[in-house]
Structure 1
Amino acid sequence: MEQRVVVDVGDLTAFLARLTALMLRGSGEGAHRIGPAVADSARAFGGTASLLLVPDAATLTVTASDGRSRTVTVHGFPEVFRLDRVAALKPLLAEVREGGTTLPEADRRLRAIEWAPAPYPWWLKFLGIVLFSLGFAPLMQPTWYEIGTTAVLGALAAALAVAADRVPRLARVLPLVVSAAVSVVTVELFARDPAHGGPVLLMLPALFYFVPGDYLSAATAELSAGLITTGAVRLVYSVFLLLQLYLGVLLGVMVTGTSTRALFDIAAVADLPRWALFLSWIVFTTGTLFAFAIPLRYFWPLLLLVYVTVGVQSGFTKLIGEVGGTFVAAVVLAAAATVIARRPHGPPRLILLLPGFFTLTVGSLGMRGLTALAGGYVVKGFADLLQLVTIVTAIAVGLVVGSVLAQPRTP
């Protein structure tokens, strides 16, 4: 590839700063891919770039081919709720890397991605969160009562999530508000009969959209890859989000005047047929597309990865236990996503990983453990929290191993 000389270091810095900020906002999988992408883009336009990263900010130093340099600080809060931007960014980066576009054109296209409206209207995001919750519900309790309860609670959670898009103040405390509202409705309307299962098991599907399981695993993966600062900060933030959900559940219980002893964790007797369990993953994948703004063209590869992940986890869990089965499933998921994502115009790796990752149910263990402790069930609570640490580590290491195994021998 023939390098192009960039005379104006300011133009190159502005483009790379905008690219860094956009990638920071889409760094739910981790920040380790930002540095190489920014450096490759700088090199394609005849310059060099280096980054000092934390999860929500970066110090960017850009040097043009004439030796002039500039350093800027870039901010971007990490999230995974607008993955349409991640999908649009990947082919642009491939074209830049291959020398197929000029700097002004690349900057124009990057601005268009940055300011593009959400691909789906608010009511489809609402429907997506409800379907996302309904698809996950049988994993908590395979009962028709769980499905019906989740439909109501998921609609409540989805309404608050959609409202938060228009009310920034609500967005700052959304996990707390959602968990408190879901807790009140669950305790007052749905958790009166122990035969229907514990109240936390009834709440969790509606709260699953807000549980930071992806951040927990991304933090652990960053720590295992040697990114100490980004991993540690992301881990603290994940715990903070989890504690917001936990506190909201407790506030809901207190508002209703219910004893925390009501937060038992006993599953109801299953009454869902096998076909309903099988179809639930189709509902789950459809909801994931709408809830996280993923383009519809990625439905079939995502559904395939979901079924592969569930099948591998179920099969190996029977052979070597839950931790071993989860680890193997994470390895297979990461390897498959890495191979599929190699194509320049194929789905980005983050999008391929997300639905399959959610099937491994990391964050729900933390919620169950904390609420069990609050209810006075100490042994059960600590057992769930210990399992959380073990499973999070197994998933994170599995994702790293799968990625390493699927990497090509030459860059």
Structure 2
Amino acid sequence: MREGPDGTDPGTTGPSGDGPDALHGFLRDLTRFMLRYSGEGAEGIDRIVRGLARAYGGRAETVLVADGAVLSVTAGGRTLTSTVSAFPDLPRLDRAVALKTFVERLRDERPDLSEAAAGLRRIEALPATVPRAARLIGIVLFSLGFAPAVQPTWYEIGSTALLATLVATLTVLSERRPRLARVLPLLAATLVSLVTLGLLQPGHVHGGPVLIMLPALFFLVPGDLLSAATAELVGGFLSTGAVRLVYALVLLLQLYVGVLIGVAVTSTPTSALFDGAQDTELSRWVLVGSWAVFTVGLILAFGVPWRIAGWVTALVYLALGVQAAGTALIGEVAGTFVAAMALAVAADLFSRPAGRPPRLVLFLGGFFTLTAGSLGLRALTSLAGGHVLHGFHDLMDFVTVVTTIAVGLLAGAALVPARVEREFPSDRLGTGD
């Protein structure tokens, strides 16, 4: 057998002797898995695929969009190229947790590619860690925990309990019906709007109907997608960021149209959509404790393993504390920027050691507390109600907050660049090995 300078057969890849076809097939399946389940942005998928290719003696190049990729793998003197497509789906974060442990094992132990492929299939086939009934309860708790941040009143909490139960039931029913899931925001917003305007009929004494609807629809508001899209655009992943931005806006518009359908069916004048938050009825401790309820809901709704609940809770309160302190000292925009930056730094640093939760899982709860997406829905409904100045004010707040969060995340990531080098040597600016 002819050997290369490193003692391996040039026609094989890595210490296991797996061929280029096996490496290409595994990386193709891994790319598809990450596009669908990992929640990683373009930078994260690109880094992991390139890094594992190098670990197995090859080289990989990717061109990514939000729901697909072109993968090119060079190994053993051959280059293989394929396209991958997968619709992003993030109802369960237990797969993302298992994936991080899996990638760490591949990086450190480099098992045979056949064993690696079998391990990836096992992760994809993992049974749900949270029963459907518990996930329904989780979505309700998620909304209830958020409700006092919209309006700190008992009426807000009571109405959210009813409306969130309807949204959670519809969400769980849509899980096994892909076509229904694509229009879930529209259906949920229509149902919530009909019940709010036709049954509850909250007047301005309760803050207006939009503020009553928002907590129940918060689970479906794409604030995370909007900020992720902005971050990818700012970071240079233009195609991925643009596609993700359009998809997030489509989801937001579904919520908006659903609310308007309820307005039309109940013959409610659009002027009733004007909102104004009511005075605080809840104590400060209830407001602080509501985020613990929110975190429990997030864990159940997204299938986060309970063993990392402490990490998720810690970063939720970190984001809240930094944002509150920053807002008091330097204003809302600057405070949100500092909070996003601190959240990015903490999630990155805490996720580094082997066995720790991935950055996405640590980051997601804290990110939701920044509530970027709900401002967009408020802006659209205010404009539809004829409150042009109020609506454009909310719209400008929305654009400002989304951009501030995205840039804050980028700034936080820039403070800890060593993570990428330690995990996988970076070759984005060079030729690699």
Give the TM-score normalised by structure 2. Answer: 0.92
Is the CA contact (8 Å cut-off) linking 1:317 and 1:323 kept in structure 2? Answer: yes
- Find the structure with the greater CA-based Rg: 2
Identify the match of residue 253 of structure 2 among 243, 264, 269: 243
**Unpaired runs of at least 5, structure 1:** none
Give the superposition deviation at 1:27. 5.2
Give the superposition deviation at 1:278. 1.3
* 1:117 equivalent in alignment to 2:127: yes
Identify the match of residue 4 of structure 1 among 7, 11, 15: 15
Identify the match of residue 262 of structure 2 among 244, 252, 269: 252
Measured on the aligned residues, the alpha-carbon RMSD in Å equals 1.5
Could you list the per-position Cα deviations for residues 378-401 of structure 1 after superposition, in whole angstroms to 9, with x for gaps in the alignment? 001001011111100110010111
Is the CA contact (8 Å cut-off) linking 1:200 and 1:368 kept in structure 2? Answer: yes
Give the superposition deviation at 1:265. 1.2
* 1:62 equivalent in alignment to 2:73: yes
Identify the match of residue 204 of structure 1 among 204, 214, 225: 214
Identify the match of residue 403 of structure 2 among 393, 398, 402: 393
* 1:48 equivalent in alignment to 2:67: no
Determine helix, strand or coil for the equivalent of 2:109: coil
Identify the match of residue 197 of structure 2 among 187, 190, 202: 187
Aligned-partner Cα distance in 2 for 1:180–1:63: 51
1:255-334 matches, within 5 Å, as: 255-334=265-344
Aligned-partner Cα distance in 1 for 2:384–2:122: 48
Determine helix, strand or coil for the equivalent of 1:33: helix
Is the CA contact (8 Å cut-off) linking 1:51 and 1:59 kept in structure 2? Answer: yes
Which letter maps to 1:24? Answer: L
Equivalences, count: 410
Determine helix, strand or coil for the equivalent of 2:30: helix
Determine helix, strand or coil for the equivalent of 1:78: coil
Give the superposition deviation at 1:30. 1.9
Aligned-partner Cα distance in 2 for 1:43–1:105: 18
Could you list the per-position Cα deviations for residues 3-38 of structure 1 after superposition, in whole angstroms to 9, with x for gaps in the alignment? 426443222222111110111113545221111101
How much identity, in percent, do the aligned residues show? 55
1:141 alignment partner in structure 2: 151
* 1:16 equivalent in alignment to 2:23: no
Once structures 1 and 2 are overlaid, which stretch shifts more, 355-364 or 300-309? 300-309
Give the superposition deviation at 1:283. 0.4
Aligned-partner Cα distance in 2 for 1:209–1:102: 41
Give the superposition deviation at 1:72. 1.1
Determine helix, strand or coil for the equivalent of 1:52: strand
Aligned-partner Cα distance in 1 for 2:38–2:95: 11
Determine helix, strand or coil for the equivalent of 1:32: helix
Is the CA contact (8 Å cut-off) linking 1:315 and 1:325 kept in structure 2? Answer: yes
Identify the match of residue 178 of structure 1 among 166, 185, 188: 188
* 1:108 equivalent in alignment to 2:112: no
Determine helix, strand or coil for the equivalent of 1:26: helix
Aligned-partner Cα distance in 2 for 1:350–1:310: 18
Aligned-partner Cα distance in 1 for 2:211–2:202: 13
Give the superposition deviation at 1:408. 2.3
Give the TM-score normalised by structure 1. Answer: 0.97
Distance verdict in 2 for CA 1:376–1:368, change over 3 Å: same
Once structures 1 and 2 are overlaid, which stretch shifts more, 333-342 or 289-298? 289-298
